[in-house]
Amino acid sequence: MAAPTKEHGPSLYVRMIKSIASSHTFGNRVRMVKLPLIFVEEQLYAGAIGQFFWLTEALEAAVAQHADDPMVQRIKALGLGDMAPRYAADLEQILGPKWRTEATRIRTAATSAYCDIIATAGSVELVAAAFILYGALVVGGGKMTQKKVKKIFPNCDHKLFDVADNMKEARQHFMNTFNKIGKEWPEHFETLEQHAARFMSLNNSVVLSIPCLGNRARAVATGLVVAGVALAAAAVRRNRRP
């Protein structure tokens, strides 16, 4: 079967969306379970966004290294190349001036492995990685999301959601950019689909690795254990009475 061209077949954006459909559905199910737990404590929230700070920083460093590549230049033209500093600003507000040290401490093995893959990625892989990491912010970010999260954690500005003032235009620009990439480099359609699916799976591995039980949950669990032991001891004493 011939590779899709600019005149025939589904657009690259549609093809990449289809390639991540099953993994994205799985990831959403995991997030539905984990997010309510993560939103219980600010430190857990910092731990979650901290993982994606590392991934975004790795992506933006790799994109800078491949800045002369024409395909990567299309990604730079999205205007999303300063997302890592926004993550950093939020982490500093939550974790304090030594936020980077703390973010390093809570960085998971899955995140480190993903960062290593990004750091050694070629230009085509970076385009797919940007589709996943930036796509999550363009589709799920914006002022409305920022307001919702700020109601939960009001002491943070949540700058990571400052993607654009007009999110509808930002989403259209994102979609158009990938469709143009598909038209200019139709020979990379299948490779981009495969790498999009791969990076979506890596995203899921990071989400699965994020801790969702904080100090409050541990305190409650400890209290329940202590109470259980006390009740068991009382039962034993009662049974020993003549």
The kind and range of the H/E element at 6 are: none
As a whole number of angstroms, the distance between CA 141 and CA 168 comes to 11
pLDDT in tens, 87-141: 999 999 999 999 999 999 999 999 999 999 999 999 999 999 999 999 999 987 7
192's CB contacts (< 8 A; 6+ apart) are 12, 15, 16, 124, 127, 128, 131, 181, 182
* Apex 206 CA angle, 200 and 211, nearest 5: 150
pLDDT in tens, 173-185: 999 999 999 999 9
pLDDT at 34 > cutoff 70: yes
Point out the least confidently predicted range of 122-136, 180-194, 205-219, 220-234: 220-234
User: Quick one: pLDDT at residue 113?
Assistant: 98
Mean pLDDT of 27-40: 83
What pTM does this model have? 0.84
Beta carbons of 15 and 3 less than 8 angstroms apart: no
Q: Which two three-digit tokens encode residue 1?
A: 């079967």
Beta carbons of 181 and 6 less than 8 angstroms apart: no
94's CB contacts (< 8 A; 6+ apart) are 42, 43, 45, 46, 153, 155, 156
